[in-house]
Amino acid sequence: MGIIYNSEERIFKIDTPKSTYMLGIGDDFGHIVHVYYGKKIEGDTFGIPLPTIDPKNKIWYMDGSKMEYPTGDIGDFREHCIEIKNANGAHALECGYKKHRIYGGKPEIPGLPATFAGENECTTLELTLVDEIAGVELVLIYSAFEDVDVITRSVRVKNIGSDELKLTKILSACIDVDNNNFEIITLHGSWGRERHIQRNKLTYGRYGVYSERGVSSHQDHPFMAIVEGGTTQKMGEVYAMNFVYSGNFEAQCELTPQNAARMVMGINPYQFEWTLNSGEVFDAPEVVMVYSANGLGEMTRNFHDLYRKHLIRGKYKSTKRPILINNWEATYFNFDTDKLLSIASKAAELGIEMLVVDDGWFGNRFDDNRALGDWVVNEDKIKGGLKYLVDEVNKLGMKFGMWFEPEMVCPDSDLYRAHPDWAISIPGREPGRARNQLVLDITRKEVRDYIFESMSKVLHSANVEYVKWDMNRALTDVWSADLAADRQGEFYHRYVLGVYDLQGRLIKEFPDLLLENCSSGGGRYDPGMLYFSPQIWCSDNADAITRLDIQEGTSLIYPLSTMGAHITDCPNHSNGRVTPFETRGIVALAGTFGYELDITKIPEEERKQIPDQIAMYHRYNDLVREGDYYRILSFRENNRDDSYMVVSKDKKEALVTFVQVMHMTSVPNLPVKLEGLDPDTMYRIDEIDMTLSGSVLMNAGLPVKWEHGDYKAGLYYLKAVE
Ligand code: DGJ
């Protein structure tokens, strides 16, 4: 059992394989204090004194102790997790221990994505706290996994009073840990430049990343880690949080006057106000917490294992994905059945397994100014109809997939002309457009039903085996005709619940469908979406060199199996860079792998490489998808080269990627010191015609080739010699 309660010491102890988390019932009132989070502590007695409360100075206690789930207006002036407003206008919330329950397994969170585990894979603590005066019951839910150093947290709030209650802020997790010369790591970016790693010293005050865009966003990411000063991939203490949510979020860390770091994560309180009538419940989304005493690499591998085993679902959870060719960068809107079939037949000849028809197959969609919402096949373009096209593609031995942007509507569309009120807008105000599109109010069931039915109709009409679900703008002008004036603060969260409802219905109706999420590239790449789709388009920027940073930041948390990565044409459509076709292939191999170019037009010498690239994908994908990931060198840090590797769980094989981004005249590449191998095993490496021990490879390093020119990439496959 990963969780125990020591009733004499009034301490709960939550264990994962290598970490321990403790919280206590701090005083007679039953405030819950945080006791410890860090390296595993064995045993079931601790002798750790809990802070004592002096009723004459309660506020000092509230503001100076480590609190487990700080509440508003009772003296904890650091960032707190929950704020309410009672019918009489009061905000104070002071919850005391009422009861607890410890059990095997993990509950679902109604309406929300969450990690899952069987009875023997996980233990859960539900801690119920009550404030009778405010009429609030809080249930703090902790689950500890048996196989990964992960603790998940979520919170349920119930109105146990007789009057209406407003919930104006609800975060899902908080930790108070003693400062260890902390640095703070977050992920930032923009379109085409998602999830770049940023690291700063943690200083006094509050540092946060937030989204108020309605999606988790390109700009900031629902992830935060505080790390011991100087932490590397292999060394140092790491506390990390990642939010299983796809909308507005807050991730914040405060270095407190007590020299502790308070890190919190949850729904962004921006415009949030949720009404709870008597007896009603609100479930806050889940936060995943990882502790590593051994650097960032171990943190990464915990996240990867958790998400691969306990978050991603469906037929493609742990199988090879079909190698696709997507027509977006090949044709943009300018295609018809003949063009698509010419791409498909050339692709099939070379071993590509699926054709994906991107934006432009429906309604009057000849450019990006019109027709979103009209999910009816445009037979002027798709001559012969969708079934004909799909059947022809299937005859080539390929699967077929297609693009939708279900949450959107263009003012120039049949849908908008029939239901202008379905677009999100504020009465009397012209809603802001982006890419000439508006967002549908999917907080409304009738709107969701329309979307679901129109998509289902198309998907049932032919053998469609893949859907790319796109979402190309942020939310603004939010207001819903279905919500009363005093409930408009529920909009943003209801929108996210709407997305989850729709995607849940879609994969239930089409259980074998491979769903890929996308949001102008990687604008909604988060664990919430991974619960519905095993892969997400990582970025619209597929330039191999820009992708090094993007894929480094993404793989800091998310498994390689989730990262949509394509080989595209050069000069690159986003930044004009020209890189060798081979390098583009090697960099895309770190993700789901596919092509997005006009295969009928690229130079013959590039086309000739495709069968080898495909063979490489088939040879290595099981390893890339399921292995342990190690970040070896970062071009972001050294401005010269980049390297990462994947090692099989049994350490019998490994694949090292080395990208020589900049050739340095007269300074040969240094050997690359590998990680994660068995020191005593001999590994055969055909690419350099050598057999070396794990110990040599990890200490002296792998002698990588030094090539003439920039942007050169190489793969090195290590196979244990029996
Ligand atoms: C944005 C996506 O990220 C692209 O891959 C492509 O699908 C376009 N939208 C189509 O409009």
Helix (H) or strand (E) holding 498: helix 491-509
pLDDT tens per residue, range 482-515: 999 999 999 999 999 999 999 999 999 999 999 9
Is 116 a member of any domain? yes
Query: What residue numbers bound the domain in which 646 lies?
Result: 632-720
108 with 234, same domain? yes
Confidence band (pLDDT; 50, 70, 90) for 349? very high
Is 320 a member of any domain? no
Q: Residue 306: which residues within 8 A CB-CB, separation 6 or more? A: 115, 145, 148, 150, 288, 290
Q: Would you please indicate which residues are annotated as catalytic (active-site) residues?
A: 470, 540
Ligand 1 pocket, residue 518 CB under 6 Å: yes
Nearest CA to ligand 1 atom 9: 520
291 with 374, same domain? no
- What's the predicted TM-score (pTM) here? 0.98
Give the pLDDT mean for 378-382: 97
Is 688 a member of any domain? yes
| Residue 515 pLDDT | 98
Kindly report the CATH number assigned to the domain that includes residue 44: 2.70.98.60
pLDDT tens per residue, range 270-285: 999 999 999 999 999 9
Q: Ligand 1 pocket test: which of 358, 370, 541 has the largest number of ligand atoms within 8 Å of its C-beta?
A: 358
Average model confidence (pLDDT) for the chain?
97
Task: Give the chain's domain count.
Answer: 3
DSSP assignment of 275-329: EE-TT-EEEEEEEEEEEESBHHHHHHHHHHHHHHHHT--STTTTSPPPPEEE-HH
Is 321 a member of any domain? no
Give the pLDDT mean for 315-343: 97
566 with 639, same domain? no
Burial class (CB in 10 A: 0-12, 13-18, 19+), 396: middle
With CA atoms as reference, report the closest residue to 210 among 175, 239, 237, 245: 245
Residue 47 CA, ligand 1 centroid: distance in Å:
58
The minimum-distance atom of ligand 1 relative to the CA of 435 is: 11
Is 62 a member of any domain? yes
Kindly report the CATH number assigned to the domain that includes residue 651: 2.60.40.1180
Kindly report the CATH number assigned to the domain that includes residue 576: 3.20.20.70
pLDDT tens per residue, range 533-554: 999 999 999 999 999 999 999 9
568 with 639, same domain? no
pLDDT tens per residue, range 15-69: 999 999 999 999 889 999 999 999 999 999 999 999 989 999 999 999 999 999 9
Ligand 1 pocket, residue 359 CB under 6 Å: yes
Is 450 a member of any domain? yes
| Residue 538 pLDDT | 97
Residue 192 CA, ligand 1 centroid: distance in Å:
11
Give the pLDDT mean for 428-451: 97
Quote helix, strand, coil % in the chain, to nearest 5: 25, 30, 45
Is 316 a member of any domain? no
220 with 331, same domain? no
639 with 612, same domain? no
| Residue 263 pLDDT | 98
241 with 332, same domain? no
| Residue 216 pLDDT | 98
| Residue 266 pLDDT | 98
Nearest CA to ligand 1 atom 10: 359
646 with 584, same domain? no
Is 322 a member of any domain? no
DSSP assignment of 145-164: ESSSSEEEEEEEEEE-SSS-
Residue 345 CA, ligand 1 centroid: distance in Å:
23
| Residue 111 pLDDT | 98
Task: Evaluate if residue 428 carries a pLDDT over 80.
Answer: yes
264 with 301, same domain? yes
Q: What's the CA gap between 683 and 693, in Å, rounded?
A: 6
648 with 670, same domain? yes
Nearest CA to ligand 1 atom 11: 359
| Residue 722 pLDDT | 84
Task: Evaluate if residue 582 carries a pLDDT over 70.
Answer: yes
Q: What's the CA gap between 472 and 215, in Å, rounded?
A: 10
Strands (E), 58-132: 82-85, 96-104, 122-131
Task: Evaluate if residue 351 carries a pLDDT over 80.
Answer: yes
pLDDT tens per residue, range 644-660: 999 999 999 999 999 99
304 with 360, same domain? no
Task: Evaluate if residue 1 carries a pLDDT over 80.
Answer: no
423 with 560, same domain? yes
Residues of the chain above pLDDT 90, percent? 99
Q: Which of 583, 602, 625 is the last residue of a domain?
A: 625
Q: Which of 625, 656, 674 is the last residue of a domain?
A: 625
The minimum-distance atom of ligand 1 relative to the CA of 328 is: 6
List phi, psi (to 5°) of 267.
Answer: -65, 135
| Residue 465 pLDDT | 98
